[in-house]
């Protein structure tokens, strides 16, 4: 079985070619693979009728999840190179996604439409998703409060802050990740709006912790910022591992993510 070690804007993946061989690891094996290969997520590329491939996704803690934007860009690159096509389709548990070449070392993925209903996130109870009733710290002077929430095939809570460097994300992230408000857990974004075309973002990923980049997190941050009129519908997201351009198009309501990918090595296992 072929193994590719890749990253998308620093977001690190171990991708196994499971199209001709069974790959059914348990949670402990996923954790061991992620630890050994220093991967944020473990990916299985499987066959899919009517699509170029199916992508199965596990976080480094062993939990299986439905979506990962940067991994989709990496798998998209592999399928584009293999097929010679201009566009490939990738099925995930969340949706069918399309990947395109966008220049040297760049891949664009159509991430579909954001989901904005409280039950889509999901939340434990009905709330205004533009600012949910959640506070971290003293009630009268919280450290964080009222995040915007959205689903990009996985749940995201986005806090808009003055400076992302003012927050101890490894300490705060776990408090929010499995807060009772989020029955399926949530990814936690700390977004600093620089101007209408740029956002500085750091993300505590559900099941993976603080990563160098989070593709669905970047999409979620842009959607929440544009919805609040803090930015335009297209902006650059500056993450620890690189930059992503997110474009939430009015024409089809889809979110398009463009950014770099890197093949670190490939081997047979």
Alpha-carbon gap, residue 196 to 231, rounded angstroms: 4
The distance from CA 171 to its chain's CA centroid, rounded to whole angstroms, is 20
* Catalytic residue (one of 74, 214, 219, 224): 214
How far is the CA of 40 from the CAs of 14, 35, 83, 147, 233, in angstroms? 8, 9, 27, 24, 28
Alpha-carbon gap, residue 126 to 123, rounded angstroms: 7
User: Reduced to 3 states, what is the DSSP secondary structure of residue 256?
Assistant: strand
Given a contact cutoff of 8 angstroms between Cβ atoms, the answer to whether 96 and 254 are in contact is no
* Catalytic residue (one of 68, 74, 219, 224): 68
Neighbouring residues of 104: CB distance < 8 A, sequence distance ≥ 6: none
Alpha-carbon gap, residue 241 to 212, rounded angstroms: 5
Query: Which residue carries 């776990």 as its tokens?
Result: 174
Alpha-carbon gap, residue 199 to 238, rounded angstroms: 6
Alpha-carbon gap, residue 172 to 125, rounded angstroms: 22
Q: Which of 96, 106, 85, 90 is nearest to 44 (CA)?
A: 90
User: Reduced to 3 states, what is the DSSP secondary structure of residue 57?
Assistant: strand
Given a contact cutoff of 8 angstroms between Cβ atoms, the answer to whether 43 and 244 are in contact is no
Q: 214 an active-site residue?
A: yes
Q: How far apart are the first and last CA of the chain?
A: 5
Active site residues: 68, 214
């Amino acid at each position: 079985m072929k193994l590719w070690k890749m990253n998308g804007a620093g977001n690190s993946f171990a991708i196994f070619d499971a199209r001709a061989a069974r790959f059914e690891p348990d949670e402990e094996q996923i954790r061991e693979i992620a630890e050994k290969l220093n991967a944020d997520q473990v990916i299985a590329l499987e066959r899919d009728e009517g699509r170029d491939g199916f992508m199965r996704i596990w976080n480094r803690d062993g939990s299986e999840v439905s979506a990962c934007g940067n991994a989709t860009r990496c798998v998209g690159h592999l399928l584009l190179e293999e097929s010679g096509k201009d566009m490939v389709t990738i099925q995930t548990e969340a949706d069918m996604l399309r990947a395109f070449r966008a220049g040297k070392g760049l891949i664009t993925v159509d991430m579909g439409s954001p989901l904005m209903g409280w039950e889509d996130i999901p939340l434990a109870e009905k709330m205004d998703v533009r600012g949910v009733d959640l506070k971290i710290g003293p009630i009268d002077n919280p450290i964080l409060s009222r995040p915007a929430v959205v689903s990009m095939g996985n749940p995201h809570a986005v806090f808009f802050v003055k400076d992302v460097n003012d927050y101890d994300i490894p300490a705060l992230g776990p408090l929010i990740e499995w807060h009772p408000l989020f029955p399926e857990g949530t990814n936690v974004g700390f977004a600093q709006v620089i101007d209408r075309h740029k956002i500085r973002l750091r993300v505590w990923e559900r099941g993976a912790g603080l990563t160098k980049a989070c593709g669905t997190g970047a999409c979620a941050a842009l959607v929440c910022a544009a919805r609040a009129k803090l930015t335009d519908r297209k902006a650059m997201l500056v993450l620890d591992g690189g930059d992503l351009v997110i474009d939430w198009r009015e024409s089809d309501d889809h979110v398009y993510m463009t950014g770099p990918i890197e093949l670190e090595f490939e081997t047979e296992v």
